[in-house]
Amino acid sequence: MYLRIVYIDRIGVVHDITGILAKRSINIVSMEVEKNRIFLECQGVSVQQCKECIGELAGIAGIQKIDEISAMPSKERAEQLDAILTSVHDGILSVDQDGIITQYNPAAARILNLPVKKILGQFLGSTLFKNLLLQETLQTGIHYHNREVYIDGGNSYCVVSTIPLMNNDNEIVGVVAFIRDTQEVRNLMHNMTASLPMTFADIPYASVVMGQVVSQARRYAASDSTILIRGETGTGKELFARALHSSSTRASASFIPINCAAIPETLLESELFGYARGAFTGAAKGGKPGMFELANGGTLFLDEVGEISAHLQVKLLRVLQEKRVRRVGSTKEVAVDVRIIAATNRNLEDMVVDKIFREDLYYRLNVIPLLVPPLRERFEDIRLLGEIFLQHFAEKLHKPIKGFSSAALQRLQNYNWPGNVRELRNSIERAANLVDGGEVQPEHISLGRLSGSQITPPAIQFETYQTLEERLAEVEVVILKETLRRFRSSRRMGAVLGLSHTAVIKKMHKYELSLE
């Protein structure tokens, strides 16, 4: 029997109620008294006895209302609290002043890797008691807010906030700790700050060679193996890295890019691997996670990986082999699940021969090679990319630019583009700012040094006694090679050089040149 009795407060009400129950030999299991309300739990009462008891209790002076209820308020509150603790994603742990655990939800059990049945009602171990900042809060009453701590049981870091529990005399009688998995914090940060994903559909091309590269990359995306993207500066290696991530099984996790050449070596180590509390002067109080930890579950893009020093190459190799990372200044190792995509414009093979780059690291990175061709080797893409960039900057500058004149387009296509797509984009941006009408003219296109597009004839060595025909043949070979490098087609070479298709083929045979 569960009863709620509403009454007008007076001395002796509780005594009168318990007297009636004692007279009827009804055992009171529990009683809760609030202002103007008494809650009773009685054991072994039949339906008839309950009705008779309620009738007699209603006759007590001051009793206003008696209702049967399903459970005591304390039990309802406990069930509600349990439902809340079970449903929240953050870990919640509370201890009394002796360090005995009074509340411990499933999320805390998952983060700390300690089951509820094993730890609830027990003394929290001294190491964990200290690591979770419970000891400091009990002793000092200080609130800790979002402090990163290391958990030995889970071999990982978590973020902890603590609140001291005070009694009416302002004495500390316990502590509540809120524990958050750092992976969940990283996912939240990723969801709030992530840019729109780049897919392979967002990489424009018209050339056959680029189509083959994109097709290769699509197949590679499904794998979890390390990819090494090779290519000259400005070819769009990061675009491919982002597209590979977006098409992988890790697409919902973080994509963390880091340019290894843009960060000084003294800072790069702490950026990659993080640092522990007090690791060096100026370090953040709670330490800082590195890029490997931030990318846990996702993809880490190491751009310009060829610029990493020998010291960092050793640490990087260890992380790739062991799948564990140790922060600077720490003795703790954290397991990480990260896919590595690296990129470089340097010749790593030559660097290995010269002992500048570790051979074992080279093989670890070069599991799946992907070569992005320079712009000069995909002539068909120049016009397409130029028009895309022009449309973008015309809209940005609010100018009615419709396209390129034939002469302007020819100027773009005759240039060698040593800076590749990045240089093309910058040139189009300059042209869009200069143009006044609806069409870009040649004078609007400012190009840099024509690296590779200006043909320098071989120096004349009189000591060799070359004939004029021999000297002209050397120049002709240089012209054919330069034209072949750009156009890759005997018909198009002929159109540029003013020769027939068959004439080009004959000259290629003459000088033992091949379209391959």
CATH of residue 232? 3.40.50.300
Contact 240, 370 (CB under 8 A): yes
CA distance 493 to 480: 8
* pLDDT of 514 higher than 50: yes
How confident is the model over 266-324, as pLDDT tens digits? Answer: 789 888 998 887 665 555 555 788 889 888 889 999 999 999 999 999 999 999 999 99
In a domain, 314, yes or no: yes
Kindly report the CATH number assigned to the domain that includes residue 420: 1.10.8.60
Which pLDDT score, from 0 to 100, does residue 49 have?
A: 87
Q: Which two tokens mark 299?
A: 């993809």
Specify whether 342 is located in the same domain as 217: yes
What's the pLDDT score for residue 35? 85
Could you report the per-residue pLDDT of 197-219, keeping only the tens digit for each?
Answer: 789 999 999 999 999 999 999 99
Q: Would the pLDDT of 423 be above 90?
A: yes
pLDDT at residue 154 greater than cutoff 70:
no
Q: Taking all residues of the chain, what is their mean pLDDT, rounded to a whole number? A: 85
Rounded Cα gap, residues 198 and 370, in angstroms? 17
Q: Is residue 449 part of a domain?
A: no
Same domain, 174 and 63: no
- Asked if 467 and 503 sit in the same domain, the reply is yes
Residue 26: its H or E element = none
* The predicted structure's pLDDT at residue 503: 85
386, pLDDT greater than 90: yes
pLDDT tens-digit readout, 67-109 = 888 888 888 887 777 777 777 778 888 898 888 888 888 888 8
83 inside domain: no
Same domain, 247 and 332: yes
Domain count, the chain: 5
Domain end point (choices 342, 371, 400): 371
435 inside domain = yes
366-395 mean pLDDT: 93
Residue 281 pLDDT: 53
Least confident of 192-201, 244-253, 271-280, 436-445: 192-201
Helices (H), 113-177: 116-119, 126-131, 134-140
Structure tokens at 38: 């008494």
Of 371, 397, 418, the one marking the end of a domain is 371
Q: Which residue has the higher pLDDT, 331 or 384?
A: 384
Q: Are residues 206 and 338 in the same domain?
A: yes
In 3D, which of 77, 5, 9 has the Cα closest to residue 41?
Answer: 5
Q: What pLDDT, on the 0 to 100 scale, is given for residue 236?
A: 92
Per the model's pLDDT, the better-predicted residue between 280 and 28 turns out to be: 28
Pairwise CA distance, residues 452 & 482, whole Å: 8
Q: Is the pLDDT of residue 390 over 80?
A: yes
Whether residue 81 lies inside any domain: the answer is no
Q: Is residue 206 part of a domain?
A: yes
171-198: average pLDDT:
73
Are 231 and 295 in a shared domain?
yes
Per the model's pLDDT, the better-predicted residue between 455 and 351 turns out to be 351
Return the structure tokens found at 112: 């700390």
In a domain, 80, yes or no: no
The residue-averaged pLDDT of 373-391 equals 92
Tell whether the model's pLDDT for residue 460 goes beyond 80. no
| One domain for residues 365 and 386 | no
Max mean pLDDT among 23-37, 143-157, 305-319, 324-338 falls in 305-319
Whole-angstrom Cα distance, residue 112 to residue 153?
6
Domain shared by 208 and 179, yes or no: no
The CATH number of the domain holding residue 129 is: 3.30.450.20
Asked whether the predicted pLDDT for residue 451 surpasses 50, the reply is: no
Write down the pLDDT at residue 452: 43
The pLDDT of residue 204 is 93
Task: Pick the closest to residue 53 from 72, 25, 14 (CA basis).
Answer: 25
Give the pLDDT score at 453.
Answer: 45
Q: Check whether 118 has a pLDDT greater than 90.
A: no
**β-strand pairing of 255-259 with 368-371:** unpaired
- Tokens encoding 409: 């387009």
**Does residue 134 register a pLDDT over 70?**
yes
Output the pTM of the full model: 0.61
Percent of the chain residues past pLDDT 90, beyond the cut: 35
Residue 443 DSSP symbol: G
Domain identity same for 13 and 60: yes
Measure CA 494 to chain center: 50
User: 469 and 397, same structural domain?
Assistant: no
Collapsing DSSP states into helix, strand and coil, what is residue 34? strand
Residue that is last in its domain, among 75, 100, 132: 75
**Domain contains 220:** yes
Contacts 24+ apart (CB under 8 A), 145-152: 147/285, 147/286, 148/182, 148/286, 148/287, 148/289, 149/286, 150/330, 150/332, 151/111, 151/112, 151/113, 152/127, 152/128, 152/332
Residue range(s) defining the domain that contains residue 10:
2-75
H or E, element range at 212 = helix 208-221
Whether residue 324 is found in the same domain as residue 413: no
312 with 344, same domain? Answer: yes
Tokens of 477: 């070979």
